[in-house]
Structure 1
Amino acid sequence: MKGILFAFLAGGFITLQGVANSRISEDIGTWQAAALTQFTGFAAAFLILMFVRDKNWQGLKRVKPLYLIGGAFASVIIFSNVTAIQQIGVTLTISAVLIAQLCLTFLVDSSGWFGVVKQKMRLPQFIGIGMMMAGVVILKF
């Protein structure tokens, strides 16, 4: 139950962040908005880290270098989200983002990429993603 709550929280904040970044980019530019968002995100995470202090940094040596660039993906995410929101609106953007996420997670799960346990994708999962795609097409018109 806690995981579902956090998932909904993340989904809500992703939407709010996209809208806020779109408005910021209208005044200062898209890459500037991405940089500002990354900076404020770093500051917020750092402040929370100072209060929580639940782990140490010793484990950083065990992290594969490929995974250390994960934060850099956020700049592409922010730029893409802002651009899409400005061109196709919030609802269609978030719908398309969710479908893209699901399609990629299907690949990750079924292939076992990044060390995740392989999952077998069955017909119901494919029907579900197809229904989501149909929903986006309906939203578009």
Structure 2
Amino acid sequence: MNKLLPILFAILVGICTTLEAYINSKLGKFVSPRIATFHNLITGSIFILTVILLKGNIKQYTKIFNVRPQWLIGGLFGACIIYFGIKAIPKLGVANTLIIVFVSQVTTGLFIDIFILRQDQLHLYKLIGIILLFIGTFFVMK
């Protein structure tokens, strides 16, 4: 039961990622991919700022000045995710783009867990799983 909420959040991430990618690709056709990316980030920033202000925890933002500088670049990756998705979806489609995104996320996550965080070990089952993901991607894209 204690994993139910995180599982629900993960499902919502998948749904929101798909909807965001689709909507942004449509917006990118009317404006440009750069403008669509910028609009997405501005809209998201306004939304989360509103949530922070309503929750009354804006003072926590001052802690940002005490973190390691490399932990401050996440927004750059967010902008790249949006921009590259806007560029890829019109040519590959939503499903093909997102299956490639999914496989690259799982592969990168496994690499981080094993080689950087050392929270996991690389063994045959994981290698087989990654290979099957690549094979599944091939079939989804056909």
Q: TM-score, normalised by structure 1?
A: 0.91
Structure 1 residue runs of 5 or longer lacking an equivalent are none
Q: How does 1:120-135 map to 2 (within 5 A)?
A: 120-135=121-136
Number of equivalenced pairs? 138
Calculate percent identity across the aligned residue pairs: 26
Matches of 2:122 and 2:8, distance apart in 1: 25
1:15 matched to 2:21? The reply is no
Instruction: Provide the residue aligned with 1:108 in structure 2.
Output: 112
Equivalent of 2:81 in 67, 77, 82: 77
Matches of 2:120 and 2:54, distance apart in 1: 37
Cα RMSD of the aligned pairs, angstroms, is 1.4
Structure 1, 20-29 or 122-131: larger mean CA deviation: 122-131
Following superposition, the deviation at residue 129 of structure 1 comes to 1.7
Q: TM-score, normalised by structure 2?
A: 0.90
Query: What letter corresponds to residue 47 of structure 2 in structure 1?
Result: A
Query: What letter corresponds to residue 95 of structure 2 in structure 1?
Result: T
Following superposition, the deviation at residue 117 of structure 1 comes to 4.7
Matches of 1:131 and 1:43, distance apart in 2: 40
| Structure possessing the higher relative contact order (Cα contacts under 8 Å, 6 or more residues apart) | 2
Instruction: Provide the residue aligned with 1:90 in structure 2.
Output: 94
The C-alpha deviation readout for 1:79-110, integer Å capped at 9, x for no partner, is: 11111111111111000001111111111111
